[in-house]
Structure 1
C-alpha cells in the first residue's frame, strides 16, 4: 500500500459502548460532601439543569472501565487484532504513582499484544483526541486487520475533582471505542481542537480571568464547530444532531444562541440523568441515542466537548448502521 493511499484511509468507529454505575444519587445528597449550600444546589438544579448522577465510590476503577471496553471489543472480527490501547483520562492522577492504568486495562482485557498508553492533557477532549491519535498510529503502521481501542472513564474520587465551581458536578462513567481504518462503522470526517493555554492553571484563575473565560466559552465552541464542519465539507443544516458533553444546560443554551440554531438540535436529555462524566459523556449520549433508535444511517453528527485548561474540540461523524449505507 502506497504512503499516499495509507494517508487517505478513513478512521472508522466500529463499536462505541458506554457504562455507568447503577448507583444514582440526587445532587442534594452530595451537598455536604462538596461543601455546597442549599442555595448553591438550587442554582445547579434550576439554572444548570442537574438532578441526578451516577456515583459509586466503592467501585474499583477497573470494574468501571471493563464493561464498555469488553462490549466494544465484541465487534473485533475474527481476523482482526488490537495493536494499540489508549486510556484517555481527565484527572492526571487516577491511580497511585506506581500504577499504570493503561497497562492494567490492557492486561485485564487480555490484549497482551497491544501497545498501551495514557492521554490526559486535553482534559475532557482527550477521548476525542485519542481517536485521532489512534487513527494516525494505524495509518503509520499500515497493517491489515489492525484495530485500536480507546478507553475512557474515571471516578469523582475527591470533592476537588468532583466539583467544578459554578459549572458542573462530576459523575462516574466510562466508554470505549473500537477504531480501525476503512471499516464498516461510523466514519470520522473531521476533528478540530483549539486550546486557550492562558487558562491552563484552572484552580488558580483570578475572578477576572474566570469571567473572561466565561465570555469566551460559547464563541470558542462555535469556532471549533464551524471549523470542523468546513473540514468535513458540510454545513450545519446537514448535521442531524449535536451530541455534546453534559457540562450543564445553561452553558449549552448560551452556545446554541451563539450558533444561531434551534435548541432541539443539541441533545441535552442526559444532563439531569447523568450530569457531566469527565471525558465519557459524549459517548454516553451517543449510545443513549443509538439504543433509542435515534441515530439514522448515513446521517451526520457532531460530537462536542470542552476540557478545563482550556481545550475545545469538535468531531464530525457519519453514522452507519450494520448492513446500511457504505
Structure 2
C-alpha cells in the first residue's frame, strides 16, 4: 500500500513545576560560574523538572490527547515509544507495552525505538509510516510517543551543551489523512562521535566547530528531497539544545534569526526527543502555523545523529 505519511494530531505535555537553572546547581554539581555560562551564552533560564512525576504520568496526557483525534472505529496498528537514553525503566518493564495497555489499545503492536538519541522521535514517525505502507490494513493509524524523566544528574547535564528537562509528546500518524503531510526525512550519523562522554578535547572541539555546518547540510538535503527550496520554508522548528548552537547554525544557513523558532529555549530548555513537538504545539496554540506552509523539524542526537523532516501544515487537522 502506498500513500503519504500524515500527522493527524501532535500533542505535547510539560509538568507544571518550573524552576530556574540555578536551582539545579547543587543537584548537578555545577558551580555558579558554570551556570552563568548556561544562562549568558547558552540562553537557558527556566525549565520544567518534577522529580515526583512518574514516567507513565509524564507519557499519558499527550498520548490521550493525540488519540482523541482517532476516528470512531479506526484501529491503531502500531505504538512506538521513541526514547533517547537506553535505560528508561527497569529491565522487566516494557514501556511501550505498558502505555499501550494503559491507553486501552488491545491488539496494537507496541515497541520501543532508540539508538538515534533525540532524533529517534522523527525516526519513529518515519518507521511507522513505512510499516503502515508495508503491512497495515487500509485506514490504520500509528501512535508515536516520547517522554523521559531527567532521573539522574548524569543524564540531565550534557557537559558544555545542555541541561535536560522533563516533557513528553505524541503524534497520531496515518496515510493520506487530512493532517500535516510528511514530505521528506533525512538523517546523517557520524559514528566517530558515538562514545560521547569519552571524546577527546580535540574531538569535542572539532564537533562543535562543524556542528552548524552539519545541521545545515541535513536541512538542505531534506528540503531538496521535499522538492522545495529553502525560500519555500516558512520556519525551522528545532530542538532546544541551546542558543549558541543555533546562532552558529543560523549563520551557516545565512537566514534571518526569525526563520528559526527559538522562543522556547529559555522557557523549557532541552527535552529528551520531545523538543520539536513542544515547539510545534506552541506555534500551533499561538496561531502561528500557516495553512499550506512548509516547515522543517530538526533535531540532533548524541552519538551523533542529525535529522530533519519537512512537513506541510494543514490547519484542519489541528483545529
Match of 2:110 in 1: 116
Conserved? CA contact 1:79–1:145, under 8 Å: no
Conserved? CA contact 1:240–1:300, under 8 Å: yes
Q: Does 1:98 align with 2:92?
A: yes
Q: Distance in 2 between matches of 1:47 and 1:165?
A: 14
Aligned residues: CA RMSD: 0.9
Runs (5+) with no aligned partner, structure 2: none
Q: 1:315 is matched with which residue: 294, 306, 309?
A: 309
Q: Distance in 1 between matches of 2:73 and 2:176?
A: 15
Q: Does 1:59 align with 2:28?
A: no
Q: 1:294 is matched with which residue: 269, 288, 294?
A: 288
Match of 1:267 in 2: 261
Q: 1:302 to 1:60 in 2, by over 3 A?
A: same
TM-score normalised according to structure 2 size: 0.98
Q: 2:210 is matched with which residue: 216, 224, 236?
A: 216
Q: Does 1:153 align with 2:141?
A: no
Match of 1:3 in 2: none
How much has 1:80 moved relative to structure 2?
1.1
What SS class does the counterpart of residue 212 from structure 1 fall into?
helix
Q: Distance in 1 between matches of 2:197 and 2:274?
A: 22
Note the alpha carbon deviations across 1:194-235, whole angstroms, 9 max, x for none.
000010011111111111111221111011001000000111
Equivalent pairs, count: 318
Note the alpha carbon deviations across 1:222-265, whole angstroms, 9 max, x for none.
11001000000111111000000000001000000011111110
How much has 1:79 moved relative to structure 2?
2.9
What SS class does the counterpart of residue 314 from structure 2 fall into?
coil
Conserved? CA contact 1:14–1:185, under 8 Å: yes
Q: Distance in 1 between matches of 2:259 and 2:312?
A: 16
Conserved? CA contact 1:54–1:171, under 8 Å: yes
What SS class does the counterpart of residue 284 from structure 2 fall into?
helix
What SS class does the counterpart of residue 44 from structure 2 fall into?
coil
Conserved? CA contact 2:180–2:317, under 8 Å: no
TM-score normalised according to structure 1 size: 0.96
How much has 1:141 moved relative to structure 2?
1.4
Q: 1:205 to 1:323 in 2, by over 3 A?
A: closer
